[in-house]
Amino acid sequence: MRFKEIRHHNFRNLQDAVIRTDARDVVFEGMNGQGKTNLLESIYMLSYGSSFRTPYAKEAVRFGADDMSLSALVGMDDGDMRRIDYQLVDGKRRILLDGKEVNDRKELVYNFPVIVFCHDDIDFVRGEPERRRRFFDQTFSMYNPLYLDSLRRYRMILSQRNAAIKAGQSSLLSLYDGRLAKYGLEIVRDREEGVKNFNQIFPGLYKAISGTDKEVVIRYQPSWKELRSEDEVTSYLESTRDRDMRMLTSTSGIHRDRFTVCDENGPFSQSGSTGQVRLASVLFRLAQARFYMEMTGKEPVVLLDDVLLELDAAKRASFLSHLDSYSQAFLTFLPDERYFGSDDGGRLTYIVEDGHVRPR
């Protein structure tokens, strides 16, 4: 899969333009604040229907404008050409795939897999547990539509259960507990299997790029611990209802699961140095790309937004040498950064300045 061209209209600070992107590696070079990240964001929004920077699509509309649109032509692995259109008019989002409206963003996720490496990834190891839950939910959803379906159903039931708790309607909880157990246990099993497979990739990448023998792995800790049947879970939920009513929320379930980065000394957030933690955090996305390829046989598009600045020169070079599981890469660099060899291999490089994008 490869993005052949991208069009922007009233998108953030970018000049309205058509940008040719028909190369395996596309580099956007410029000083900070010129629009490089905006270019990556536009590709992500076309592929996911949402931004990796903000939950509010209207923030992507150029200041002073009323609407915004993006579009792209994408060459698929089978030779077909697809067109994606993203429109935001009067605050309402509309997404079209080959001229037909997309009603479920799953159509985008499974057709146009994109992985973004961004500065916020630095919090993967030391950040809140929710960051890692979101990461692994995205990772498993990218190749397993049943996982995404179970996750959606679980979240809907959890919302209804929490609403009943806040309303003091404890008698309604038994209506939700069985379904919460059903979909929750499906997710637990998929998470256990997914983490097992992820750990076939992540530790090796860390050793190779860090140049050490340190074994860094992901530990999955389900909230429901050893509970394995729906009856066991529903009984447990019944036994903790008083606690839930006091706390005004569901205090157990897959929304409380933990994914912890560990080495032989325990949580890596405590035992690892600042540099080691930064490297492990950056490698989450590298492992995600390789994991996706191994699970599906397909290569994703990767977006790298200045993340290599977190690494020293030797590790930057090693990182790029291991960045091989992708069909196309979009990278942002500061001026005069040189992480590739002299042979550009057909690479496209653009200079980005005050929202204007021009070939180098």
Label residue 119 by pLDDT band (50, 70, 90): confident
Q: Hey, how many other C-beta atoms are within 10 angstroms of the C-beta on 186?
A: 18
Q: Please give the structure tokens belonging to residue 26.
A: 């596309």
Residues 6+ positions from 352 with CB-CB distance below 8 Å: 28, 29, 30, 34, 35, 36, 39
Distance in angstroms (rounded) separating the CA atoms of residues 360 and 354:
15
Among candidate residues 193, 187, 117, 195, the one with its CA nearest the CA of residue 154: 187
Is residue 152 over pLDDT 90?
yes
pLDDT at 122: 82
pLDDT at 317: 84
**Mean pLDDT value across residues 246-262:** 97
Q: Which residue type, as a one-letter code, is found at position 172? A: L
pLDDT at 360: 87
pLDDT tens digits, one per residue of 178-227: 999 999 999 999 999 999 999 999 999 999 999 999 999 999 999 999 99
- pTM here is 0.91
pLDDT tens digits, one per residue of 204-216: 999 999 999 999 9
pLDDT tens digits, one per residue of 309-351: 778 888 888 888 898 889 999 999 888 776 665 556 679 999 9
pLDDT tens digits, one per residue of 59-94: 999 999 999 999 999 999 999 999 999 999 998 999
* Torsion sign over Cα 282, 36, 351, 24: positive
pLDDT at 338: 65
pLDDT tens digits, one per residue of 37-47: 999 999 999 99
Is residue 273 over pLDDT 80?
yes
pLDDT at 339: 64
pLDDT at 270: 92
User: By percentage, how much of the chain surpasses pLDDT 70?
Assistant: 98
Which spans in 87-229 are helix H?
A: 106-111, 129-141, 145-166, 173-198, 202-210
Which spans in the chain are helix H?
A: 36-48, 106-111, 129-141, 145-166, 173-198, 202-210, 230-239, 241-247, 268-271, 274-296, 313-322
Q: Give me the domains of the chain, ranges plus CATH numbers.
A: 1-113+298-360 (3.40.50.300), 124-295 (1.20.1050.90)
Contact 79, 333 (CB under 8 A): no
Is residue 250 over pLDDT 60?
yes
**Mean pLDDT value across residues 104-116:** 92
Average pLDDT of every residue of the chain: 93
Angle at 175 between CA 170 and CA 178, to 5 degrees: 120
- Strand order, beta sheet including 17-20: 17-20, 2-9, 67-75, 81-89, 92-97, 100-101
Q: Please give the structure tokens belonging to residue 168.
A: 């003091």
